[in-house]
Amino acid sequence: MSQTNILLESGTNELEIVEFFLDEPEYRGHYGVNVAKVVEIIRLQPCTAMPQMRHPAVMGAFSHRDGKVIPLVDLSKYLDKKTVPHDDAKIIVTEFNSIVTGFLVSGVTRIHRLSWHDVEEPGGFLQNMSRNSITGVVRLEQRVVFLLDMENVVADMDPSLAIRLGKISEHLLDKHYTILHADDSGSIRGLVKNLLEQSGSFTVRQAVSGEDAWDMLDEIKKQAAAEGKPVKEFLQAVISDIEMPRMDGLTLCRKIKEDPALKQLPVALFSSIVSHALEHKGKSVGADAQFAKPDLQKLSEKVLELIRVSGE
Query: Which stretch, 180-184, 188-192, 198-202, has highest mean pLDDT?
Result: 180-184
5-160: CATH topology is: OB fold (Dihydrolipoamide Acetyltransferase, E2P) (2.40.50)
What's the confidence (pLDDT) of residue 173? 54
Q: Indicate the CATH number of 163-309 among 3.10.290.10, 3.40.50.2300, 3.30.470.30, 3.30.70.20.
A: 3.40.50.2300
Location of each CATH 2.40.50.180 domain in the chain: 5-160
What's the confidence (pLDDT) of residue 7? 46
Strand partners, 17: 34, 112
Strand order in the sheet with 99-105: 38-43, 90-96, 99-105, 69-74, 58-63
C-alpha angle 3/6/9, rounded to 5°? 115
Of residues 243, 251, 291, the one with CA closest to residue 268: 291
Render 120-177 in DSSP notation, one character per residue: BPPPHHHHHHTTT-EEEEEEETTEEEEEE-HHHHHHHH-GGGSPBP----GGG-SS-E
Location of each CATH 3.40.50.2300 domain in the chain: 163-309
pLDDT tens figures, 253-266? 999 999 999 999 99
pLDDT tens figures, 166-180? 555 554 556 789 999
Beta carbons of 287 and 266 less than 8 angstroms apart: no
What's the confidence (pLDDT) of residue 262? 97
The bridge status of strand 90-96 relative to strand 99-105 is antiparallel
pTM of the model: 0.79
